[in-house]
């Protein structure tokens, strides 16, 4: 699923590729999916979006919500999307199944196909709460070591590293996918409790959040995800289903995958000790 780095990459690509295009037709929920979420009746999307011009895009992680979402401005309407987005040039084959399909007047298309779950919400731009207070993004200067320290001090000491970083949206857009490399680079086990961490662990964790997410964004997203043009991201994941079969690149030991807190965690038991 797209997380913070991919949301930034997709937003930039949409601004460069789709801005100025006028929507000829919008089809939502053509192929129903049990975990596809819409605003109101998806059958009304065409009436809300047909004839609207795309004027820009951006991440809405801080401005309007607390998750990894791409916002697409369509004149006076706003599409907020938290599922993979694809662009299709004129004449290009379209996906057989989709939960949102925009057809533009130049015969190009944009599609969203939900994998696990995803939201494709359409709301009037005037309804967006632009001044609602939101936590800073890890890409902001305001997300500094002091701010991170307050996050850590504000939770129960028996919380695990994964729970701290990737639950309750304490850090908007940081999910289970990007979590794995952040913890590996910090040398912290996903199950390690905050109360078992020393000052050096917290400092490394903060530094890894900043640097790992930046590297993911700057390299076009992770290689486990696709961009607007269906191309894999250029950031090579250290811990993911792509690397599980290979030894740790640092110590050479076998990597481990376990189910934990509603998703899989990947770790090196040598480089990321529990204590």
Q: Mean pLDDT by 10-residue block, N- to C-terminus, for the chain (275 residues)? A: 90 95 98 94 97 86 50 94 95 96 98 92 83 80 96 96 93 93 98 93 97 97 96 98 97 97 96 91
Task: Count CB atoms within 10 A of the CB of residue 168.
Answer: 11
Q: What's residue 121's pLDDT?
A: 94
Q: What's residue 238's pLDDT?
A: 98
Q: What's residue 67's pLDDT?
A: 43
Q: What's residue 64's pLDDT?
A: 41
User: Is CATH 3.20.190.10 the right assignment for the domain spanning 4-127?
Assistant: yes
Q: What's residue 196's pLDDT?
A: 95
Q: What is the pTM of this model?
A: 0.91
Q: What's residue 131's pLDDT?
A: 57
Q: What's residue 129's pLDDT?
A: 64
DSSP result, the chain: ---HHHHHHHHHHHHHHTTT-BEEEEEESSS--TTEEESS-GGGHHHHHTTPBEEEEEE-TTTT-SS--EEEEETTEEEEE-S-EEEE-TTPPPPSS-SEEEEETTS-EEEE--SS-EEEEEEEGGGS-TT---PPPTTSTTS-HHHHHHHHHTS-TT-BHHHHHHSTTSSTT--HHHHHHHHHHHT--TT-BGGG--HHHHHHHHHHHHHHHHHHHHTTSBTTSB-TTSPBPSB--SSSTTTTTSB-TTT-PBPEEEEETTEEEEE-TTTS---
In whole angstroms, give the CA distance from residue 209 to residue 225.
Answer: 19
Q: What's residue 65's pLDDT?
A: 42
Q: What's residue 133's pLDDT?
A: 67
Rg (CA), the chain: 20
Q: What's residue 169's pLDDT?
A: 83
Give tens-digit pLDDT for 65-121.
434 489 999 999 999 999 999 999 999 999 999 999 999 999 999 999 998 889 999
What residue spans define the domains of the chain? 4-127, 145-267
Architecture of the structural domain at 145-267:
Orthogonal Bundle (1.10)
Q: What's residue 2's pLDDT?
A: 81
Task: Count CB atoms within 10 A of the CB of residue 71.
Answer: 23
């Amino acid at each position: 699923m797209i997380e913070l780095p991919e949301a930034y990459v997709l937003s930039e690509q949409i601004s460069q590729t789709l801005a100025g295009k006028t929507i000829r037709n919008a089809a939502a929920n053509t192929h129903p999916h049990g975990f596809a979420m819409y605003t109101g009746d998806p059958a009304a999307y065409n009436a809300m979006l047909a004839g609207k011009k795309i004027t820009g895009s951006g991440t809405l992680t801080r401005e309007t919500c607390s998750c990894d979402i791409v916002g697409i401005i369509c004149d006076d309407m706003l599409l907020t999307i938290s599922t993979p987005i694809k662009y299709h040039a004129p004449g290009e084959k379209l996906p057989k199944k989709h939960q949102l399909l925009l057809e533009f007047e130049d015969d190009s298309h944009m599609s969203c196909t939900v994998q696990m779950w995803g939201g494709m919400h359409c709301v009037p731009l005037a309804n967006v709460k632009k001044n609602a207070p939101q936590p800073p993004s890890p890409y902001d200067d305001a997300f500094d070591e002091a701010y991170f320290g307050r996050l850590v001090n504000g939770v129960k000491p028996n919380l695990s590293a994964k729970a701290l970083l990737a639950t309750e949206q304490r850090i908007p857009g940081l999910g289970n996918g990007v979590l794995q490399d952040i913890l590996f680079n910090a040398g912290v086990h996903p199950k390690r409790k905050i109360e078992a961490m020393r000052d050096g662990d917290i400092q490394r964790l903060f530094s890894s959040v900043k640097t790992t997410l930046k590297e993911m964004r700057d390299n076009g997203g992770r290689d486990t995800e696709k961009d607007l043009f269906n191309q894999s991201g250029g950031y090579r994941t250290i811990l993911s289903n792509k690397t599980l079969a290979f030894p740790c690149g640092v110590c050479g030991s076998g990597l481990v995958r376990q189910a934990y807190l509603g998703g899989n965690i990947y770790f090196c038991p040598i480089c990321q000790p529990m204590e």
